[in-house]
Chain A
Amino acid sequence: MSLTIQEIEKDQMKKNVPSVSEGDTVVVSKIITEGKKSRIQKYEGVVLKKQNTRSRTQITVRKVVDKIGVEKTFLLHSPLVEKIEVIKRGKTRRARLYYLRKRTGKKATRIKSAD
Chain B
Amino acid sequence: MSKKFLLGKKIGMTSLITEDGEVIPVTVIEAGPCKVVKIQTPERDGYSSVLLGFVSIDEKKVSKPLQGFFKKQKVGAYRILSEFRTDEQHGVEVGQDISATTFEPQTKVNVRGRTIGRGFAGTIKRWNFRRGPMTHGSKSHRITGSIGAGTTPGRVLKGKKMAGRYGNDNVTIRNLAVVKVDASKNLLFVKGAVPGKRNGILEIEAA
Contacts and interface: CB of A to CB of B under 8 A. Distances in A.
A2 B17 contact: no
B75 interface: no
A77 B185 contact: no
Nearest to A56: B15
Contacts of B20: 79-80
A55 B15 CA distance: 8
Contacts of B21: 75, 78-81
Interface stretch (A5-13, A21-29, A61-69, A93-101): A5-13
Nearest to A7: B185
Interface residues of A, number: 15
B141 to A, nearest CB: 33
B12 interface: yes
Contacts of A9: 14
A75 B17 contact: yes
B81 to A, nearest CB: 24
B28 A77 contact: no
Interface residues of B, number: 16
A4 B17 contact: no
A4 B19 contact: no
A97 B12 CA distance: 33
Contacts of B19: 79
Contacts of A56: 15, 17, 23
Contact of A4 (B15, B16, B23, B185): B185
A55 B17 CA distance: 9
Contacts of A80: 20-21
Interface string A46-70: 0000000001100000000000000
A77 B15 CA distance: 12
Contacts of B30: 4
A56 B17 CA distance: 8
A1 interface: yes
Contacts of B37: none
Of A1, A8, A75, A80, most B-chain CB atoms within 10 Å: A8
Interface of A: 1-2, 4-5, 8-9, 12, 55-56, 75, 77-81
Interface of B: 11-17, 19-21, 23, 28, 30, 185, 187, 198
